Amino acid sequence: MTTEGPPIRRLADWDAAALRDRADEYGTPLYVLDQQRVRENVAALRAAFHDEEISYAVKANTVRATLETVAETGLSAECASAGELQRAADAGFDRVRYTAVNPPAGDLDHVVELAADPSREDLDLVITVGAADAFEALARRGYDGPLAIRVNPGVGAGHHAKVTTGDAPKFGVPYDRVSELASEIVDRGFDLVGLHAHAGSGIHDEADLAAHRELVSRMGDLARELGHGLDFLNVGGGLGVPYRPEEEPLDLDSVAEATREAAGELDVRLGIEPGRYVVADAGVLLTTVNTVKPTPETTVVGVDAGMTTLLRPAMYDAYHEIQTLAPDAGERDPITAMIAGPICETADVLGRDRELPRPERGDVLAIGNAGAYGYEMASNYNSRPRPAVVSIGGGEPRLAVERETLSDLTRLEVEQ
């Protein structure tokens, strides 16, 4: 597998003319996903974490074309819902873990049925439980396959409080109760094969990395303490990428070595589960300028993408680089602008105080690092159809997800 490509793909690295062609052909808003960049990111992870099992955190991007690309690289899949598990299995993953949080009954029913499906006998499935209740619910359903325990190690990290999981009570069995649950699982004849923990999402700065190392250290101690014949210790993902142009990418080799050192000597295989790192810089969002409105505070540049297309800025105050694709951009005077969407919410802003060549109606803007949690978090709020997705980097560009229509919005409604 090739490892060519820069450590991170900046927005300026994309071919502006090719992106304009995609916008002309498919319209906007439009996600463009580059499968070759996905392969490069997986190769970089493999080069650094050469002895560890790498699982793809499916929730970062479940577009079928991307799932198939990741499956072809040989990574396993980490799934947070029955829907993600079904998508991963259908896309060709042969090793999957179902690590749900407070799984609904319907999800458990579907997962247990999938585990027992004779047509899926080649599917290596492990279910991870984050509470004793979840274990009991599986036992009542007759599940007798391998189990892992999600641990709450009391250490969290991430780019925002809303995605810091390792110390949040919602996630995992409290650290000091894991041994008791492990013993019960084994005593009742179940196959306990692993432990799992996850600090959070978007781990990038030194404070986050220090917290990650502390989590790994605690989990290494726990794995040695249990001694229940475990097969693996998964210490989560969350590896961040630089969203701002001035930020440097992670030194993957250093992160991998620090992870191994923090885990210590183990009789089990160490594993990680990156999602964002695999797909973030493999995607851009294209959007068209609808209005340009000077105001006393700023120039508001209205575009056809908004918080229903890319939620991260409204949800997490996240920064995404924005550039114009106008061919004559270099001839225009720069202005400072707010890039705002069409949703009736003050929060519907994709970027504030951004310097752009003076925008004009009809310009296409590109929004970078949109491959992770972009299309995945799109919604129909304000009855807005979700965008289309185009896949490139594997032959000719092809439509991966059709654009929703207004009739799609009411297709499931029942007339009274």
What would the two tokens of residue 156 be? 């969290």
Contact 348, 385 (CB under 8 A): no
Query: What is the model's pLDDT at position 215?
Result: 87
Question: Is 79 a known active-site residue?
Answer: no
Q: Is the peptide bond before 296 cis (omega within 30 degrees of 0)?
A: no
Query: What is the model's pLDDT at position 273?
Result: 95
Query: What is the model's pLDDT at position 164?
Result: 45
What would the two tokens of residue 253 be? 């080799």
Residue list, annotated binding site for substrate: 276, 312, 316, 345, 373
Task: Please return the burial class of 410, using the count of CB atoms within 10 Å of its CB with bins 0-12, 13-18 and 19+.
Answer: exposed
Query: What is the model's pLDDT at position 238?
Result: 81
Query: What is the model's pLDDT at position 5?
Result: 67
Report the CATH superfamily, name and number, of domain 281-409.
Lyase, Ornithine Decarboxylase; Chain A, domain 1 (2.40.37.10)
Residue list, annotated binding site: 238, 273-276, 312, 316, 345, 373
- Local confidence pLDDT in tens for the 416 residues of the chain: 445 667 889 999 999 999 999 999 999 999 999 999 999 999 999 999 999 999 999 999 999 999 999 999 999 999 999 999 999 999 999 999 999 889 999 999 999 999 999 999 899 999 999 999 999 999 999 999 999 999 988 765 545 454 445 456 767 899 999 999 999 999 999 999 999 998 765 566 777 778 888 889 999 999 999 876 899 999 988 888 999 999 999 899 999 999 999 999 999 999 999 999 999 999 999 999 999 999 999 999 999 999 999 999 999 999 999 999 999 999 999 999 999 999 999 999 999 999 999 999 999 999 999 999 999 999 999 999 999 999 999 889 999 999 999 999 999 999 88
Q: What is the largest CA-CA distance in the chain?
A: 73
The domain ranges of the chain are: 35-275, 281-409
HSE, CB side, 13 Å, CA atoms: give it for residue 369. 23
Residue list, annotated binding site for pyridoxal 5'-phosphate: 238, 273-276, 373
Query: What is the model's pLDDT at position 156?
Result: 52
Query: Catalytic residue among 344, 406, 412, 414, which?
Result: 344
For residue 331, which phi and psi values (nearest 5 degrees)?
Answer: -95, -5
CATH number for the segment(s) 35-275: 3.20.20.10
**Lookup result for tokens 């009274």:** 416
Query: What is the model's pLDDT at position 352?
Result: 97
